[in-house]
Structure 1
C-alpha cells in the first residue's frame, strides 16, 4: 500500500475532474448526482473550494494511488471546521473500492485532524443503505449518535472523539 493524502491544490484540477467524470455513475448509486452544472462550472467550483480552504472553514483532500503519476483514487474532506470539530465526508473511485482505501483514508484523516489541524471531534453522516461506508467509519472508532436527514435521504449521524 502506497496511498497518500494531499491537501487539495489547484494543481490537482485535471486529475480531480477526471476522477469525478470517471466515477459519476458509480457515485450516483449511493449519493445524489451532482448534475451537469457541477461539471460545466468545475473551475469555478474548484476555486470556491480553495477559497474556503484558505479561509479555514473547510479542508479538502485528495487520495492518491500508488501508480505512476499518482492518479486520484478518492477524496476525503473536513468541512464546517469550527470550535475543535468538523464534518467528515469521503468518496473512493469504483476501481479502488473494496481494497481498504476508505478505511485507511479515514484513519489517516483522523490522525491529520488531531495532529495537524488541532481538532477534537469529527462527525459523519451516512445513508441507511450505505452499509460499507458505515462499516468503514465504525472500524475507525465512529459511533452512532442519532439520525440524520438531507435532501434526498435519511441515515445516521456518527461521531468520533479524537
Structure 2
C-alpha cells in the first residue's frame, strides 16, 4: 500500500525518475516544467527542502512499496492559516483512488500538523479527474479563472481537518 511521506533528501532520485517518466502525461493537463527543471533538479530539490524547513511549504510524496514515487501532494505558500494545494499522480497509478486518498490525508495533516485551516486549489476545466478529486475531498468551486491561458476553476476548502 502506498505511503505518504514528507519530502526528504534521499527522495531525489525516485522523484526525478517520476517527473521524467510522467513529463508528457502531466504536460497534457498542466504547464510543462521545462528543460531547466530537469537540468537543475538537484539545486531545486535543495531549495524545496529549505522552504519546507522554514515552514513555507510542505511537500509530500506518495511512495510505493518498492520506493517508487507514485505521486506528489504539496502545500505551498503556507501563511496565516492558509495554503495552496497542488498534486499529480503518475499515469500508471491514475484511476485507482490514490489521488483522492492522498489529498484527503494531506488535508488532515494541514489542519492537525501544519495549522492550515483554509486550502485553495485550481485546475483546468478539461481536467475532469482533478475536479473530481477536489470535490470528493471537500473542496467547493469558487468560480472560473484562467489557468496558464486555459479555462480553469478555483476551489477552496475550509477547516480541512473536519472532513
TM-score interval, normalised by the smaller of the two chains? over 0.9
- How far apart, in 2, do the equivalents of 1:86 and 1:148 lie? 18
Structure 1 gap segments, 5+ residues each: none
Question: Which residue of 2 is the match for residue 4 of structure 1?
Answer: 3
TM-score if structure 1 supplies the norm length? 0.94
Per-residue deviation, residues 43-75 of structure 1 (Å, max 9, x unmatched): 11111111111111111111112x3x3211000
2:113 corresponds to 1:121? no
Aligned-partner SS, 1:126: strand
RMSD between aligned residues: 1.0
Deviation, structure 1 residue 154: 3.1
Could you list the structure 1 runs, at least 4 aligned residues long, displaced by more than 6 angstroms after superposition. Answer: none
Number of positions where the alignment pairs a residue of Structure 1 with one of Structure 2: 159
Structure 2 gap segments, 5+ residues each: none
Give runs of aligned pairs for residues 1-162 of structure 1, distance below 5 A.
2-65=1-64, 67=65, 69-162=66-159
Aligned-partner SS, 1:48: helix
TM-score if structure 2 supplies the norm length? 0.94
